[in-house]
């Protein structure tokens, strides 16, 4: 019988522990050593904000596995409070240090898995040491302790963790301000979709400051935009991004990209064939474009398993990462997959964009709520490039369906043919996913469509804007320059519009489609405003909110 192999995993939590337990299932006789610098090797880091707010009541619920339990079930040698300080690639040894005793040791390995994660960015401003960040249980405990004596909190950063903390600190009854350097929250979304989340935060008493720089942290206040404004603050949370914990890999001479992320192949193998890397510190191959960091627990788990499979001789390539993510804020769900319209237009890609606003289930069944859906497809191939959904119910379900469709190579048009579960309390007979496919089918067949951000340019070219909603709807809010011609009366106006160029709009786009189809048959060059008044209102409000904030200065960078 051959000598048992030794596998060393540096870093626990999602990626490291998935690799360790998978290796045990594939190799019962191997020696598997897990080194974790912190006090906990397996905890639910995505649940940390919710214990801060008391939604998850018991702290112990966040500790998923202990070293003793992992040793008993999987035979793992788990060492917490133990730091890997060097990798000797030539001798295939890891130099480790016990953080309590200071004792050093060398551990030989046949294969090494790096899962060091990423650390919160500490922005270079005066008083940054006064701010707290959230990465592990100790950070969570510190935030809870400070929050107990606080009344006013400033959260710097409008990403997923920042907004989850803002919501949960608000649940504790604190006054919360979110300060975001960008002109929108949630960069993985487009501005008109992220605006819906910002409005929900404001509706629940959170002060949202966009395009605003945090310039300094003082004992009882923060300084914004290089002194343009100060805000009182008893507690400051820093959630402005992360950087990879890749110094160990760098010192070992492994290949890193320009940002310090560890370069891996499709099997999670680094530039050293005996060393693998998974989790937040490792690059992921996106389904579109170059490899990028993707900070998602699901990918860390999946790639930990893939690394273990490769080590055990069962290698199969990692699937492209779509970046599928979801967040809940005060009862509103926002979910996303793939690329944004912003990114693709910056790249000069030819794309089609579709906005719809369906009910999450049949409108006649009690409790129906409105979804905002966005689909982005390649204008030439109809390949689905991205999607976003925001609503109180059903947003996550629809994005999961689209993510699955993307993985299966379905086109936008083929969404119309998906056979999805239907009963009035769960969906509509024409599911919102099917409706996206129908709209795309119409666009492919030549129906003109205008995006909300293109409207002003079209009107400047001489197009007329026709509002086909009711008199009451128009009176409640109208696009400047629009002419009211309700859909049910439109045939009476059709002849007078013959030969003209018009953009029609309704509330969400469906009546606009009917109006445009009607007018084209009367010889009118008619285009439909995509997503109707609802999308236009959200987009223009988002731009207005961004442009009315203080101009960002060069004194603060992220």
If we measure between CA atoms, which residue out of 289, 347, 291, 350 comes closest to residue 318? 291
If we measure between CA atoms, which residue out of 120, 217, 203, 117 comes closest to residue 159? 120
Chain Cα centroid distance, residue 126 = 30
CA 544 to CA 551: how far, in whole Å?
13
Rounded to 5°, the CA angle 64-70-72 comes to: 130
- Residue 440 in tokens: 């795309």
CA 201 to CA 193: how far, in whole Å?
14
Report whether 23 contacts 17 (CB < 8 A). no
Mark whether 46 is an active-site residue.
Answer: yes
CA 346 to CA 350: how far, in whole Å?
11
Catalytic residue among 5, 27, 31, 46: 46
User: What is the CB neighbour count within 10 angstroms for residue 96?
Assistant: 22
Distances (CA, A) of 454 to 192, 350, 416: 13, 15, 27
CA 215 to CA 201: how far, in whole Å?
23
- Asked whether the CA dihedral 489, 493, 495, 500 is positive or negative, the reply is negative
Local structure of 36: helix, strand or coil: strand
CA 265 to CA 269: how far, in whole Å?
5
CA 190 to CA 111: how far, in whole Å?
42
Burial class (CB within 10 angstroms; exposed 0-12, middle 13-18, buried 19+) of 141? middle
- Rounded to 5 degrees, φ, ψ at 500 are -100, 165
CA 420 to CA 426: how far, in whole Å?
10
Local structure of 28: helix, strand or coil: coil
User: What is the CB neighbour count within 10 angstroms for residue 29?
Assistant: 11
Catalytic residues: 46
């Amino acid at each position: 019988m051959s000598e048992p192999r030794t596998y060393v995993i540096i870093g626990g939590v999602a990626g490291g522990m998935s690799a360790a337990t998978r290796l045990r299932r594939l190799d019962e006789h191997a020696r598997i050593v897990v080194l974790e610098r912190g006090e906990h090797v397996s905890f639910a880091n995505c649940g940390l904000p919710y214990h801060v707010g008391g939604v998850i009541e018991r702290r112990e619920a966040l500790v998923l596995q202990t070293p003793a339990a992992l040793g008993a079930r999987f035979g793992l040698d788990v060492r917490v409070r133990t730091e890997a300080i060097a990798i000797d690639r030539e001798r295939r040894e890891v130099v480790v240090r016990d953080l309590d005793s200071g004792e050093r040791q060398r551990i030989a390995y046949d294969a090494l898995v790096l899962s060091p994660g990423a650390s919160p960015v500490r922005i270079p401003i005066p008083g940054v040491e006064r701010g707290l960040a959230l990465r592990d249980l100790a950070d969570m405990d510190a935030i809870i302790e400070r929050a107990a004596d606080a009344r006013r909190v400033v959260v710097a950063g409008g990403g997923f963790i920042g907004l989850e903390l803002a919501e949960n600190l608000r649940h504790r009854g604190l006054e919360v301000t979110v300060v975001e350097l960008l002109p929108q929250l949630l960069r993985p979304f487009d501005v008109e979709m992220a605006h819906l989340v910002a409005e929900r935060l404001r509706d629940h008493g959170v002060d949202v400051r966009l395009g605003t720089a945090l310039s300094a942290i003082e004992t009882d206040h923060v300084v914004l935009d290089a002194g343009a404004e100060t805000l009182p603050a008893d507690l400051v949370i820093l959630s402005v991004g992360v950087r990879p914990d890749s110094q160990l890999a760098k010192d070992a001479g492994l290949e890193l990209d320009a940002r310090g992320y560890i370069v891996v192949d499709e099997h999670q193998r680094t530039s050293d064939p005996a060393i693998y890397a998974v989790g937040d510190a490792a690059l992921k191959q996106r389904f579109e474009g170059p490899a990028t960091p993707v900070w998602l627990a699901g990918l860390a788990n999946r790639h930990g398993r893939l690394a273990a499979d490769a080590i055990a001789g069962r290698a199969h390539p990692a699937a492209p990462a779509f970046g599928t993510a979801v967040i809940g804020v005060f009862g509103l769900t926002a979910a996303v997959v793939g690329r944004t319209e912003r990114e693709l237009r910056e790249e000069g890609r030819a794309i089609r964009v579709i906005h719809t606003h369906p009910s999450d289930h049949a409108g006649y069944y009690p409790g129906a709520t409105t979804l905002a859906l966005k689909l982005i497809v390649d204008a030439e191939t109809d390949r689905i490039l991205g999607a976003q959904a925001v609503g109180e119910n059903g947003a996550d379900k629809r994005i999961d369906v689209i993510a699955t469709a993307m993985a299966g190579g379905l086109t936008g048009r083929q969404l119309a043919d998906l056979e999805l579960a239907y009963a009035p309390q769960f969906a509509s007979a024409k599911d919102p996913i099917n409706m996206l496919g129908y709209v795309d089918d119409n666009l492919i067949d030549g129906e003109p469509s205008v995006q909300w951000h293109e409207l002003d340019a079209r009107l400047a070219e001489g197009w007329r804007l026709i509002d086909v909603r009711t008199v009451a709807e128009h009176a409640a809010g109208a696009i400047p320059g629009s002419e009211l011609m309700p859909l049910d009366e439109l045939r009476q106006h059709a002849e007078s519009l013959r030969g003209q160029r018009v953009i029609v709009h309704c509330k969400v786009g469906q009546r606009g489609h009917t109006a445009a189809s009607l007018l084209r048959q009367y010889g009118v060059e008619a285009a439909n405003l995509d997503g109707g008044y609802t999308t236009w209102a959200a987009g223009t409000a988002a731009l207005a909110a961004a442009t009315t904030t203080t101009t960002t200065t060069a004194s603060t960078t992220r």
